[in-house]
Structure 1
């Protein structure tokens, strides 16, 4: 009897029994949302390094291993992270992964069209903005032009099988292609809540013993984000009329939501460097629109920004759309929004 009791005790304390769910995340903003819900109850394995950009990322063998070993994979979507499509399929986890852009209730913006007015969900927006039509999608069109990573396919998958959840229909991938859709969905607070809800449901499924913990974290996140959103809106209202130019066209969710005055972008896709004609056009826009600041990004060389503002009184600043310096913890997404707000204010005031 004692031997049986001892054996049962060892089983209960075995590494398998005590192991935390392993969640593979694509980029840092995704890790922030997962951490807000999972806390220290999950092992978060991020694929794209915090200092790298998903626009020109190439998977390594260690990244493929993270996908195979994960209990769940959380990513933004094919139009941003095309390099994940084949590995997810090869690992048998394409359908069970959580694809942010395909979640029911997520708001997407179409950057292929120009509009004089913002989408209905934004408040106090300025008529000066272009390209800010919001959409609430359950299914989406074909993705845009990030197809340079086809060669990075996953390897034969191991014995760790992906979970197939019929009950998670909102995480399906039958409509995950997005032509002209801006994939930077993490820059809209409401979208963060949509992902947080999906992560909460998945964590409850993977670790039902701690379901109340995950539900509580979601409630705290939702409440805290509402307060943070109002705070940022108030602080940025002071610079809403100040024109500026960004390095790449990736901030429209944040800008339209908070009513900022984007006068243009150096490039649509950061891996595509502007030619001499484009540089001349931007210089003209800077003068014509009385642009106060041109923003670069830490993930890319700021050389082009220096060229654009040379000989002018225009200031330069840095916007970090991935929060590379933010520590991933339960408050990371709030810290990220605060840091982005501060980056705008530091150059526009």
Structure 2
């Protein structure tokens, strides 16, 4: 009987070969893929954890990874412009574009935490994440696209219903920050936990099609992910509730989805885009706004130099802290995305208290 036993090294190689090869763009995407795929996926992430997707450049080795991948998961062309052309040139569509998924909530850069996105959700549930799950349990679909039915009541659900609303307010926001924010669709969709459920479901579907033998495992992983995310969502909401009205500035306008979801009081951003340093006049204007709004904290980011933040708060009692919108220090696991939300909430709360 022993002559039929396979060497351990061969068993390992067979196990490795059985994994689905998934190329991801950034760390938060990797977190969701890891949670659903578990040990059945091999993840290769293109953008280094210490780098920013805003100024990433593809190398020949990255193009080879795309070509060899079973699946590519990215946020969208608004964020990872470097992926648009290479993916279009691949033979056959094998990617998931998060921003293009039905059910993904897309906000506009001019949108504030007080606008209709939250009001709508509060009309339809208790706004702690469980209203989405109850909706699915009632209908038995578990497809993560509860947003479809909800948004169809209010618009065409392709993002344009939001556009009509925002065109009424174009050119200003309630804080008077003309010129201090982006325009168009905000690509930082991973900072809304409801959007994470939408991607998780799509990843489950695609992995199940690629690897039918592990379909049940992917389904179980998805259900576990949703449960853990709901727990984290409630915990984060409770932690941020005492500081949700405290005014602050961020380094660049990347946090709108998170801030809208938890109704925080962002008074503005230092720079339009993280690659561009603000000029002397902009710095002077921001210092004036910091004083006028009684700002408690100015946040920097680990991917960019905080020197400009130090200049802004010099001579004031304003505190500073680091917000990490990519979760660079977290190890990939089934719980890394919920842990990412909790860590980000802790970064906010520590500086705003």
Q: Distance in 1 between matches of 2:210 and 2:43?
A: 14
> Do structure 1's residue 299 and structure 2's residue 303 form an aligned pair?
yes
**Aligned match for 1:228, one of 232, 250, 269:** 232
2:106/2:159 contact within 8 Å kept: no
* Aligned positions of 1:54-65 closer than 5 A: 54-65=53-64
Structure 2 residue runs without a partner (length 5+): 128-150, 161-181
**Residue in structure 2 matched with residue 277 of structure 1 by the alignment:** 281
**Residue in structure 2 matched with residue 323 of structure 1 by the alignment:** 327
* Aligned positions of 1:37-186 closer than 5 A: 37-93=36-92, 95-112=93-110, 117-119=115-117, 120-121=119-120, 139=158, 180-186=184-190
Q: Distance in 1 between matches of 2:69 and 2:300?
A: 34
Cα 1:221–1:310 shift into 2, 3 Å: same
2:103/2:198 contact within 8 Å kept: yes
Cα 1:85–1:40 shift into 2, 3 Å: same
**Residue in structure 2 matched with residue 194 of structure 1 by the alignment:** 198
Cα 1:16–1:325 shift into 2, 3 Å: closer
**Aligned match for 1:243, one of 238, 247, 255:** 247
Q: TM-score, normalised by structure 1?
A: 0.79
SS in 1 for 2:107: strand
Q: Distance in 2 between matches of 1:301 and 1:6?
A: 56
Q: Distance in 1 between matches of 2:197 and 2:283?
A: 38
1:118/1:256 contact within 8 Å kept: no
Q: Distance in 2 between matches of 1:46 and 1:210?
A: 23
**Aligned match for 2:265, one of 261, 264, 267:** 261
The size of the alignment, in residue pairs, is 297
Deviations 1:163-187 (A, max 9, x none): xxxxxxxxxxxxxxx9710000000
Q: Distance in 2 between matches of 1:122 and 1:39?
A: 31
SS in 1 for 2:184: coil
Cα 1:26–1:137 shift into 2, 3 Å: farther
Deviations 1:230-286 (A, max 9, x none): 111011001011100000001011011111110110012111211111111100110
SS in 2 for 1:110: coil
Measured after TM superposition, the shift of residue 112 of structure 1 is 4.3
Name the one with the larger helix percent: 2
> Do structure 1's residue 206 and structure 2's residue 210 form an aligned pair?
yes
Q: TM-score, normalised by structure 2?
A: 0.78
**Residue in structure 2 matched with residue 286 of structure 1 by the alignment:** 290
1:104/1:137 contact within 8 Å kept: no
**Residue in structure 1 matched with residue 173 of structure 2 by the alignment:** none
1:112/1:181 contact within 8 Å kept: no
Measured after TM superposition, the shift of residue 90 of structure 1 is 2.0
1:122/1:256 contact within 8 Å kept: no
2:36/2:203 contact within 8 Å kept: yes
1:245/1:295 contact within 8 Å kept: yes
Question: CA RMSD of the aligned region, Å?
Answer: 2.7
